[in-house]
Amino acid sequence: MEIDISRFNSALQQSTAELLSRKSKKGYWEGCLASSALSTATAVVALELVHRHYLNKNEKPPFDYNLVEQGIDWLAKNVNPDGGWGDTTLNLSNLSTTALCWSAFYVVQNGQTKYPELVFNAEKWIKQHAGRIEPHILVPSIITRYGNDRTFSAPILMMCAIAGRLGNNGWKWVPQLPFELAALPQKFYAAVKMPVVSYALPALVAIGQARYSNLPSGNIFQKIFRSLARERTFELIKKIQPFSGGYLEAVPLTSFVTMALASCGQAEHPVVKDAVKFITSSARKDGSWAIDTNLAVWLTTLSINAICDAKQTQDIPISRDDVSFLFKWILNQQYRDSHQYTGAPPGGWAWTNLSGGVPDADDTAGALLALNRLMTRVSDSKQESSGGFINPIKSAINGINWLINLQNKDGGIPTFCRGWGHLPFDRSGADLTAHAIRAIISWLPFLPPQDAQRLEKPLKKAVDFLLTSQSPKGYWQPLWFGNQYERYDRNLTYGTSRVLISLQHLLRFEGERAAKAGEKAVNWLINCQNKDGSWGGFANSPPSIEETAWAVESLARVAMVPFCEQELRETIVEATIIGTNWLIEKVESGEWTKPSPIGFYFANLWYYEELYPLIFTVSALKAVQPVLKTIKKTK
């Protein structure tokens, strides 16, 4: 199997040009997140409750009610053929989103009367997948989906209770979240084992308050403790509410907080007022809402790391002015103060440049890699910014220290907070850990010897985590990307490919052990390749541009690393070529820009991003370039 070099070059040039053209007028990449049925359902209910409050007072609501009606109409137009809803228009129907949309039609004034057949079909879908719509059957089905994590099951059940879908005494089915724990100093949060993940603190407080208000505890000591904690926790969620009004810039989380407070007589609370401004300003013209405003920092660093290959930084299709701007822009997105939301120390980066962002491991690693790749193109070691001068080496050290301070006892890197690992989205992640290793090692040549030396121990610990967490079958499971066709929603192709990209760094610390792990992972990945050269999230799964690009990039990179016998290397190169040809065909046909719902957001919410297939295709084709040169030399 061979690659037509002219076709390859044309595909690389076309995909790179298209990615560059998607840069916003602001000078960086913002992208466009999928419209979300889940976000739309939660937004319309939040606004409906606030609207009712003002109407009951004979006062004018602070927003146009057309937003609610347009949202309900959008949900009606975008129901799946089976009567249910998925998180996005490309997702399969699931119980959580269908229950939320079903509830929304009951909450909104004319929802059920305007769309009676749709409501009937939704109830039919829920009966088919949960057993019945009665609360004693429906509630356990929803809770089972999330296990011990109440981050999402509690707000879903709260919205069902508000809609009257859980019977006359519906609040008894809503878990009582211990909002009073939020009154404790932040350093104790991990120790008390919060029932929600670290980023969901506002939901813990608001939903806990709503449940307590609508159905108080009979325990006198709990009543006293919770009564004493009410005002303090209200003050807390106001304190951590960002300037935009949107917690994490996320419509679902902000909407859940809004409806919770409105349901317990707090519709005019300052938190609600600012949240409503965020929700209304986030509405799209078609009546829908996305799960978040944008992923600007994440998309910009991914785009830079795709276009600027690590070994070819002097030959990139970006002008010096653009390089300088992007370099300064990324430096300016670094947090230089402790974050009031999570208590994270200075040094990290968030996924967005907006006020609702929170520093996290993946975006910090991505920013460090992007800065590293741009630095050789920037003439000055100090870049002027609105706040004075920023030393990139110092910023990199701060970012690296931030990642190291995040490291869990098991050696892995979690997303936001250290030590919250008892719930799924707070545990160490193979994808995050591999990304952090690559980012830190990329900066070692630029660091003072004493700084580089002290990083050896945490790096070795991180490598050990990756080698220990590998499945016996050879794959790694990621945290932040999924596949809706896999039994447990896991995207094993993503997890495995992200670790394989860091294989050369693993070999540095654990030569023989890492080589064996690499061989096992490569064999697993190649065995998952479809006959046409593509990949899905696991063996024999429907393919996507993103998943094929991830696999091609990782195999192309390991093909350049001497870790295996020649026979396996030839197999790797062959699989890479077949996958590359599949990508080339998709670029030529125009199908390569079609995104797939492979993104996992907070609380396992699915999303897709229109820039992902572009970014990952460019990354893959760039990685294949040196492989083709090696093949040519061999011949």
pLDDT for res 382? 47
pLDDT for res 385? 45
Confidence of residue 439 (pLDDT cuts 50, 70, 90): very high
* Number of neighbouring beta carbons within 10 Å of residue 544: 25
pLDDT for res 371? 96
pLDDT for res 417? 84
Task: Tell me which amino acid residue 607 is.
Answer: Y
DSSP string, 23-42: S-TTSS----BPEEHHHHHH
pLDDT for res 530? 97
Could you tell me which residue, 581 or 224, shows the higher pLDDT? Answer: 581
pLDDT at 400 over 50: yes
pLDDT for res 403? 97
Lowest mean pLDDT across 99-108, 195-204, 581-590: 195-204
pLDDT for res 380? 47
User: Are 355 and 250 in contact, with CB atoms under 8 Å apart?
Assistant: no
- Residues contacting residue 82 through CB under 8 Å, at least 6 positions apart: 93, 125
Lowest mean pLDDT across 12-16, 21-25, 289-293, 447-451: 447-451
Mean of pLDDT values over 3-10 = 95
Mean of pLDDT values over 437-456 = 94
Q: What is the longest distance spanned by two Cα atoms in the chain?
A: 82
CA dist., res. 374 & res. 327, Å (int): 7
Query: Hey, what are 352's tokens?
Result: 């967005």
pLDDT digits (tens, 9 = 90+) for 230-285: 888 889 899 999 999 999 999 999 999 999 999 999 999 999 999 999 999 999 99
pLDDT at 583 over 80: yes
What mean pLDDT, rounded, does the chain reach? 91
CA dist., res. 536 & res. 336, Å (int): 40
Which region holds residue 2: left if phi is over 0, alpha if psi is between -120 and 50, else beta? beta
pLDDT at 309 over 80: no
Lowest mean pLDDT across 62-71, 187-196, 323-332, 341-350: 187-196
pLDDT for res 631? 80
Could you tell me which residue, 373 or 196, shows the higher pLDDT? Answer: 373
Could you tell me which residue, 590 or 376, shows the higher pLDDT? Answer: 590
Task: Tell me which amino acid residue 457 is.
Answer: K
| CB-side neighbour CA atoms (13 Å) of 1 | 15
CA dist., res. 72 & res. 78, Å (int): 10
Instruction: State whether residue 609 is helix, strand or coil.
Output: strand
User: Are 244 and 236 in contact, with CB atoms under 8 Å apart?
Assistant: no
Query: Hey, what are 129's tokens?
Result: 């997948």
User: Are 619 and 574 in contact, with CB atoms under 8 Å apart?
Assistant: no
- Residues contacting residue 145 through CB under 8 Å, at least 6 positions apart: 95, 96, 153
Lowest mean pLDDT across 176-180, 193-197, 392-396, 414-418: 193-197
pLDDT at 168 over 90: no
- Residues contacting residue 602 through CB under 8 Å, at least 6 positions apart: 151, 197, 199, 200, 248, 250, 252, 253, 425
Confidence of residue 603 (pLDDT cuts 50, 70, 90): low
- The residues facing 177 across adjacent strands are none
Burial class (CB in 10 A: 0-12, 13-18, 19+), 162: buried
Query: Hey, what are 8's tokens?
Result: 């390859």
pLDDT at 313 over 90: no
CA dist., res. 427 & res. 470, Å (int): 15
Confidence of residue 418 (pLDDT cuts 50, 70, 90): confident
Query: Hey, what are 118's tokens?
Result: 């749709």
CA dist., res. 29 & res. 250, Å (int): 19
User: Are 582 and 6 in contact, with CB atoms under 8 Å apart?
Assistant: no
Confidence of residue 109 (pLDDT cuts 50, 70, 90): confident
- Ranges assigned E (strand) in 537-615: 599-600, 606-607
pLDDT for res 24? 95
Query: Angle at CA 571, nearest 5°, toward 569 and 574?
Result: 110
User: How much is the pTM?
Assistant: 0.94
Max mean pLDDT among 212-216, 462-466, 565-569 falls in 462-466
Lowest mean pLDDT across 92-101, 221-230, 356-365: 221-230
Lowest mean pLDDT across 385-389, 481-485, 540-544: 385-389
pLDDT at 149 over 80: no
User: Are 40 and 619 in contact, with CB atoms under 8 Å apart?
Assistant: no
- Residues contacting residue 524 through CB under 8 Å, at least 6 positions apart: 473, 474, 475, 496
Lowest mean pLDDT across 46-50, 312-316, 365-369, 452-456: 312-316
pLDDT for res 150? 80
User: Are 69 and 576 in contact, with CB atoms under 8 Å apart?
Assistant: no
Confidence of residue 218 (pLDDT cuts 50, 70, 90): confident
Instruction: State whether residue 408 is helix, strand or coil.
Output: coil
Confidence of residue 375 (pLDDT cuts 50, 70, 90): confident
CA dist., res. 192 & res. 205, Å (int): 15
Percent helix, strand, coil in the chain (nearest 5)? 60, 5, 35
